[in-house]
Amino acid sequence: MRRILVLSPCDVFPPVHGSSTAIYHTLQFLAERNQVSALLARLYSQGGQIDLDGPNLTIHYCRRSSLDRLGYKGLFFNPLYYQAALQMAREFQPDVIQAELLWTAPAALWLRHNIGRPVVLMQENVEYQKFVRFGLTSPFLKVVRWLEGWACRSADRVVALSEVDRDFMIQLYGVPPERFALIPHGVDPELFDHRPEGAAAARQALGVEAGTPLLTFVGKLDYLPNARAVACIAERIAPAVWQRHPEARFVIVGQGVEAVAEYRRDGLLFTGFVDARAGARPNLSDYLSASDVVLVPLDSGSGTRLKIVEAAANARPVVSTRIGAEGQSFVDGQEILLTDEADQAFVDATLRLLDDPALGERLGRAARSRVLAEYSWRSQVSKMERIYSELVPARPLSGALPVEDAGN
């Protein structure tokens, strides 16, 4: 059993986007065989209750700061976060410091300087590449490139979510290939599983009758790639689908609706925030279960798109751009339908699934089989533990940690 100090740049109770979902499940499954202490910032907080418990997990919150208004960037300069991390490290005496996302890397590497423990950097995105794809050209882009290169070269191990991301960082930042590990984001296949009763609950909440075609997009809507995807659905995909299926309904699942409010119209439904956890009804899995097709018309971004893995776990057919499924192993035509862009070919693939439900069922079943083989969170955490074993020996089993909310 090892002691893992996890630094998170955001709240994860409840998880509201891909990053917080990944951190939530990392904590959940790491604590099965390790002692875990986590420091969470209150960014993107919904004020939810801590619902992970067990003898090996403690959760601490950094105090709020005026720097929170800067988002993730504010963690670079927030002395409260550094102070809280150092206090936790001195009391907890971790074997490994795990930095979730680039934004916690400076604090993690500063801790290594103070307590001499190795740092594992979880690179969910290649941040520089992501911002370039956004079309940003501000001086901040140069800062991100410098910081990301420094963090990747300085960490003892860097976890990339895909070969594409890993190869980009090796080439751009000169990081030795042996320093990388490949661990894509996963899913809990027991939570994300197609359930007819969940599908019925979601359709009832939406006011959409059984048998009405339902096409779904999932994402945090004030995140630029997701906002662009919603615009694409509203302006191009939905009107084309309605020409053949005027009864079809599109549902946009995720918080941040105000960022895309201009796209509200008949036949395009917005849920707002939907809890992904088991206790909520209807939860995210229920909305996916209710879907006839899941759409991923992304034109930018980075990392592993959890929305595809979650839809696949629910055995739902997915139509995605290639950049939307970048770095994933789903096979085009057998487990997913891919197009180069969100263009007429994307619309044609969507209509093909609406017109041939049996094809969608075959793709969905095959995709779930892929998830069970490659994308479960428990197997992904086992890969993380192999990294820890390379860096430090395991401690003998000892007294467990109490669960507490140390937030103020």
CATH fold match for the domains 3-186+376-391 and 196-374: yes
Residues 6+ apart with CB under 8 A from 137: none
Exposed, middle or buried: residue 8 (CB in 10 Å: 0-12, 13-18, 19+)?
A: buried
**Orientation of helix 105-115 relative to helix 139-154, angle to 10°:** 40
Torsion sign over Cα 280, 282, 287, 288: positive
User: What's the pLDDT score for residue 278?
Assistant: 79
User: What's the pLDDT score for residue 399?
Assistant: 42
Strand partners, 60: 39
Q: Per CATH, the architecture of 3-186+376-391 is what? A: 3-Layer(aba) Sandwich (3.40)
- For domain 196-374, the CATH class is alpha beta
Classify residue 13 by its DSSP letter. S
Nearest to 292 by CA among 203, 230, 228, 232: 203
User: What's the pLDDT score for residue 304?
Assistant: 59
User: What's the pLDDT score for residue 401?
Assistant: 43
Q: Tell me the three state secondary structure of residue 6.
A: strand
Q: In which element (H, E) is residue 214 found?
A: strand 214-218
Sole residue written with tokens 């930095």: 99
Classify residue 336 by its DSSP letter. B
Residues 6+ apart with CB under 8 A from 16: 44, 46, 220, 255, 273
Q: Are 34 and 381 in contact (CB under 8 A)?
A: no
pLDDT in tens, the chain (408 residues): 899 999 999 999 988 888 899 999 999 999 999 999 999 998 877 777 888 888 999 999 999 888 888 888 888 889 999 999 999 999 999 999 999 999 999 999 999 999 999 999 999 888 888 888 777 777 888 989 999 999 999 999 999 998 989 999 999 999 999 999 999 999 999 999 999 999 999 999 999 999 999 999 999 999 889 999 999 999 999 999 999 999 999 999 999 999 999 999 999 999 999 988 877 889 999 999 999 999 999 998 665 578 999 999 999 999 999 999 988 899 999 999 999 999 999 999 999 999 999 999 999 999 999 999 999 999 999 999 999 999 997 666 544 444 344 443
Q: Parse the chain into domains and list their residue ranges.
A: 3-186+376-391, 196-374
222/272 Cα distance (integer angstroms): 12
Scored b (16 or more CB within 10 A) or e, 15-41 reads: bbbbbbbbbbbbbbbbbeebbbbbbbb
13/45 Cα distance (integer angstroms): 7
User: What's the pLDDT score for residue 188?
Assistant: 93
Q: Tell me the three state secondary structure of residue 406.
A: coil
Q: Are 183 and 304 in contact (CB under 8 A)?
A: no
The pTM of this model reads: 0.86
Tally the C-alpha atoms within 13 A of residue 368's C-alpha that lie toward its C-beta: 20
